[in-house]
């Protein structure tokens, strides 16, 4: 996958469940309030439950170089624990974690270890 494209439900490949929900547009990487750099991929994990949000985040990060930033959008409340734990154990940096209505939004910078 190339930088700037998002991983949307139904486009991830064989064997992964397809999530219902609204596809998310990529965040504006040039927005003035984005000091963490451009978002390379937006990972839509809406409607998926543990462990799928983490697995989709890992798959997205595996396609990128160290230092790249992804945004993960999930609806599973467990992701509020799972994504930070994934970052800690995987050597990634959790740049931002917030709730936007029913969605949990995370910005993750890929570490050098993967």
For the annotated catalytic residues, the residue numbers are 50
Residue 105: CB atoms within 10 Å: 18
HEC readout, 13-26: CCCCCCCCCCCCCC
CA–CA distance from 14 to each of 11, 17, 19, 86 (Å)? Answer: 9, 8, 13, 23
**How many helices and strands (H and E) does the chain possess?**
2, 4
* Residue 15 token pair: 């064997």
């Amino acid at each position: 996958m190339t930088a700037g494209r998002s991983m949307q439900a139904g486009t991830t490949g064989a064997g992964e469940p397809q999530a219902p929900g609204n596809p998310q547009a990529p965040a504006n990487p040039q927005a003035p309030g984005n000091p963490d750099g451009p978002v390379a991929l937006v990972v839509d994990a809406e409607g998926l439950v543990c462990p799928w949000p983490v697995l989709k985040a890992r798959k997205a990060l595996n396609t990128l170089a160290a230092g790249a930033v992804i945004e993960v959008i999930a609806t599973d409340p467990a992701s509020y624990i799972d994504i930070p734990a994934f970052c800690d154990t995987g050597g990634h940096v959790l740049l931002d974690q917030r709730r936007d209505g029913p969605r949990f939004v995370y910005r993750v910078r890929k570490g050098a270890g993967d």
